[in-house]
Structure 1
Amino acid sequence: MRKAEHQPAGVTGVPANSGIALRLDSVQKQYGSGPATLTALNNVSLALYQGSFTAIMGPSGSGKSTLLHLASGLDKPTRGSVHVGSTDISQLSGDRLTQFRRDHVGFIFQAYNLLPTLSVEQNITLPLILGGKSADNAWLEYLTNAVGIGALLNRRPAELSGGQQQRVAIARALISHPEVVFADEPTGALDSRSARAVLDLLWHLARELNQTIVMVTHDPVVAAASQRVIFLADGQLAGYRDGGTAAEISDFMTGLEA
């Protein structure tokens, strides 16, 4: 197990010309003030490269959700900065931040959050519609075929399995060519077979489409599908592992929880 403080928590083995898709510099997040101040994240720095597939793990209360919220622009750090691509999103606010998230950040959640009255195609292109943009039909066709739902575009969510609905959610997250996709327990509502298929798909997207994926999970089996696992404990980086089995990841997690 390597300690995260010794080098940036980006993926090893990337080409020299790969850019950094996500960077956190000395990020701190506090809630409250005075004696009641709670530090949810404390002096966290990391860099993730384009095309990397990274899992974030840690015990309950370790700061996983806080890290995801800050990195994706859903919340702002108390101190430090967050860069998505070349943009310091910690300096954006209001409509500018909302527009940036819509155009440059993708989200995949445990709940698929599909609108039941819309078709698969309409659900996928909804972020573009909300931004006043038209879908690139060639990209839509390529993307939906890549995630295995090209023949389902006219169906409604209720006509799909859980695994198919999550594939629709993944396509929706990718439709705007985001710089980073954030996945929060993306397989939590799926059976083991569908979960494995979704994880294989995320791996494919990182390797073949150079898509950067950051996934928060509590499941060592899910984390083992990623290229790198970053561990948090008490709001700080506690280490990272490149590769490794679910059992090895679980053993390290047990040490953090002790």
Structure 2
Amino acid sequence: MHTDTRDPVIAPPDIAVRLEGVSKVYDAGAAPVTALRDVSLAIPKRSFTAVMGPSGSGKSTLLQCAAGLDRPSAGRVTLGGTDISALKAKQLTVFRRDHIGFVFQAYNLLPHLTVARNITLPLLLGGHAVDKAWFDHVVSAVGLADLTGRSPLELSGGQQQRAAIARALITKPDAVFGDEPTGALDSRTGRQVLELLRHTATHLRQTVVMVTHDPVAASYADRVLFLADGQLVGSLERPTAQAVVDRMSSLGEW
């Protein structure tokens, strides 16, 4: 059982991520596939949200559309006050680099760069100066303050994922998106990463949105959103692992 460090209420009324009537249809030849159907939702700033659903429910497509990795076929996605669904391709690429953090199952660290250079890479690519105070704060928060001069290959899997989280935070993004961020980790290391994501929302005051299939991982969030057949079918506030299991069981096969 993890220690619950959440605020009693998700208080901020301001919104980090908003989807309005978002649908996504993939042209799969003779039979187009609808991955999302008229999804509308709002995610508060400085909160931790998990997204769950059975296989094929559209949860990864939801994350990709919300994070600007894919464009919706209909509807609007607003992130940090910017309508990203209206941006042109080059504008969207720059916006993602400067305003969105990503944490995936694969760490995507560059082995020929030090940990410090990997973390600050989004800033360097954008031609932005590194805020040393924020860098020191972030690497301390993720537990890598003494390892920034090492190569990623000298780190454990959990430490590499911590570096990926630090890289996601270095630009002070409007939101950090995670797609199964603990999927490649053992249970103990995965728990440490989840505690770090929880810390990211509660203490670093960042917005975290995570897709997961794991009820225990979802229990670290402030709220769980449930998808089925491409539609938002419910949510759960202040979830426990058992409550998530019960809700998922009602949605059918995982």
User: TM range, normalised to the smaller chain?
Assistant: over 0.9
In structure 2, the partner of 1:202 is 197
For 2:192 and 2:29, locate their aligned partners in 1 and report how far apart those are by CA, in whole Å: 48
In structure 1, the partner of 2:101 is 106
1:30–1:137: structure 2 CA closer, same or farther, 3 Å change rule? same
For 2:80 and 2:128, locate their aligned partners in 1 and report how far apart those are by CA, in whole Å: 22
In structure 1, the partner of 2:168 is 173
In structure 2, the partner of 1:15 is 11
Q: 128, 148, 153: which is aligned to 1:153? A: 148
For 2:37 and 2:170, locate their aligned partners in 1 and report how far apart those are by CA, in whole Å: 34
Q: Secondary structure at the match of 2:78?
A: strand
For 2:29 and 2:183, locate their aligned partners in 1 and report how far apart those are by CA, in whole Å: 37
For 1:81 and 1:94, locate their aligned partners in 2 and report how far apart those are by CA, in whole Å: 16
Give the Å deviation of 1:127: 0.7
1:249–1:14: structure 2 CA closer, same or farther, 3 Å change rule? closer
Residues 1-43 of structure 1 show CA distances to partners (whole Å, capped at 9, x for unaligned) of xxxxxxxxxx992335x41000000101111289622111001
Q: Cα RMSD between the aligned structures? A: 1.6
Give the Å deviation of 1:248: 2.1
For 1:73 and 1:87, locate their aligned partners in 2 and report how far apart those are by CA, in whole Å: 11
1:126–1:222: structure 2 CA closer, same or farther, 3 Å change rule? same
Q: Secondary structure at the match of 1:166?
A: helix
Residues 113-153 of structure 1 show CA distances to partners (whole Å, capped at 9, x for unaligned) of 10111100000011111111221111111110011100001
**More divergent stretch after superposition (26-35 vs 114-123):** 26-35
Give the Å deviation of 1:104: 0.4
In structure 1, the partner of 2:20 is 25
Residues 64-111 of structure 1 show CA distances to partners (whole Å, capped at 9, x for unaligned) of 110011000011111100000110000002211000000000000011
Q: Which 4+ stretches in 1 moved above 3 angstroms?
A: none
In structure 1, the partner of 2:45 is 50
**More divergent stretch after superposition (20-29 vs 125-134):** 125-134
Give the Å deviation of 1:178: 0.2
Q: 74, 91, 103: which is aligned to 2:69? A: 74
Q: Secondary structure at the match of 2:111?
A: coil
Q: Secondary structure at the match of 1:115?
A: coil
For 1:21 and 1:118, locate their aligned partners in 2 and report how far apart those are by CA, in whole Å: 32
Percent pairwise identity: 59
- Give the TM-score taking structure 2 as reference length: 0.94
Count of residues in Structure 1 that have an aligned counterpart in Structure 2: 247
In structure 2, the partner of 1:218 is 213
Query: What amino acid maps onto 2:144 in structure 1?
Result: I
For 1:164 and 1:34, locate their aligned partners in 2 and report how far apart those are by CA, in whole Å: 43
Give the Å deviation of 1:162: 0.8
Q: Secondary structure at the match of 1:36?
A: coil
In structure 2, the partner of 1:185 is 180
**Unaligned segments of structure 2, at least 5 residues:** 1-6
**Unaligned segments of structure 1, at least 5 residues:** 1-10
For 1:252 and 1:93, locate their aligned partners in 2 and report how far apart those are by CA, in whole Å: 39
**More divergent stretch after superposition (152-161 vs 33-42):** 33-42
For 1:165 and 1:32, locate their aligned partners in 2 and report how far apart those are by CA, in whole Å: 36
For 2:38 and 2:21, locate their aligned partners in 1 and report how far apart those are by CA, in whole Å: 4
For 1:53 and 1:244, locate their aligned partners in 2 and report how far apart those are by CA, in whole Å: 11
Alignment of 1:87 onto 2:82: yes
- Give the TM-score taking structure 1 as reference length: 0.92
